[in-house]
Amino acid sequence: VPPSPASLTPSSITPSAISTKVYALGTLGYDFGSEARRDTFKQRMPAVSMNGVLIPANPYDARQMVNHLELNPAESKSLIWTLNQELTPIYALEPQKAFASEIYAVFGMLLSGQIQPEESDDYIERVSIPGSLSDRTVELFSGQVVPVLALPNIRGMYGWQVNALVEAAVATVSPEANEPDNARMRRSLKSFLHRIYYDLRNLGQLERDRALNFAATNAFQAASTFAEAINSGMGLDSIEIEKSPFCRLNSNCWDVKLKFFDSENSRRAKKVYRFTIDVANLMPVTLGKVRSWSVPR
């Protein structure tokens, strides 16, 4: 049985610790809300030819839905768009009126990326979504009730194109390496990015979780920074977060530290990379550069 959204929130969290600002990671999905709406899509979507035989459209097939929305973009507004973790919807995503058309277009682009072959450079494995938690909920087709996340604009919406990023990192760090070495580095980098996502899974409501999730996205975008450590045989040891002792005025700063270690050489020093994240606004920002240093084991 998939975990409910509530089960993803630690029991020790008090209501005052949760803000209306959200920066969450997951996969994009869609829902119909009712049989009537589902059947409306089924009737409007064109039949599909398989082996020369026309079969009725399947609105649950994301590929068919992407094709339909490309031809009929206005119908994006009739769907309930969701952010999912492990196939479980955690938020219903509601674009705000001023930039609704642009946001729905990004939804279509992200969904199109998610259905690409996993080996494609265009394949999108995860998405990052910033928004404001409303006091409203939506009941999905399954009967599950999820909170509504209001999205003011497209700023901060990001699709994790793992394959393209890994190839860019490999080319940057070891442009002249042979194929076996590059293949090993590709596996290590993908493992690193997956570890970041699964270790950080949360609802993105707490200040520390928003900082963690933004750091994960930032680490994803800056994977070439870590590629040298990974290429030298180091692996991710731990991810730590703490309130930053130094912060600019009217900011809310958190330090996120990623520690790498060498599993084959216990005498080798650990490598630490630190991000400083300001979560004062809806869209977190990185302060300064990624810093790195070595520490004893």
Residues 161-178 pLDDT 10s: 988 888 887 777 766 667
pLDDT at 8 exceeding the cut of 50 = no
- How far apart, in Å, are the Cα atoms of 79 and each of 75, 155, 216? 7, 21, 29
Domain ranges of the chain: 1-160, 180-297
What is the amino acid identity at position 213?
N
Give residue 199's pLDDT: 79
Dist CA 81 CA 87 (whole Å): 13
Q: Of the ranges 32-41, 60-69, 270-279, which one carries the lowest mean pLDDT score? A: 270-279
Give the span between the Cα atoms of 49 and 27, in whole angstroms: 29
Higher model confidence: residue 228 or residue 160? 160
What integer is the mean pLDDT of 55-82?
96
Q: What is the pLDDT of residue 22?
A: 97
pLDDT at 177: 66
Tell me what the mean pLDDT of segment 204-213 comes to: 94
Q: Are strands 145-151 and 88-95 parallel, antiparallel or unpaired?
A: parallel
Q: Amino acid identity of 295?
A: V
Is residue 3 predicted with pLDDT exceeding 60? no
pLDDT band at 235 (very low <50, low <70, confident <90, very high): confident
Q: What does the pLDDT average to over 229-243? A: 86
In sign, the C-alpha dihedral spanning 165, 227, 283, 240 is positive
Using an 8 Å Cβ cutoff, are 106 and 159 in contact? no
Instruction: Give dist(CA 20, CA 279) in Å, integer.
Output: 12
**Average pLDDT for residues 193-220, to the nearest whole number?**
87
Q: Residue 116 pLDDT more than 60?
A: yes
Gyration radius from the chain CA atoms: 21
Average pLDDT over residues 145-157: 96
Q: Note the pTM of the prediction, 2 decimals.
A: 0.86
- Kindly report which listed range (11-15, 182-186, 199-203, 259-263) carries the lowest average pLDDT score: 11-15
41 or 17, higher pLDDT: 41
Q: Is the Cα dihedral 279, 139, 4, 129 positive or negative?
A: negative
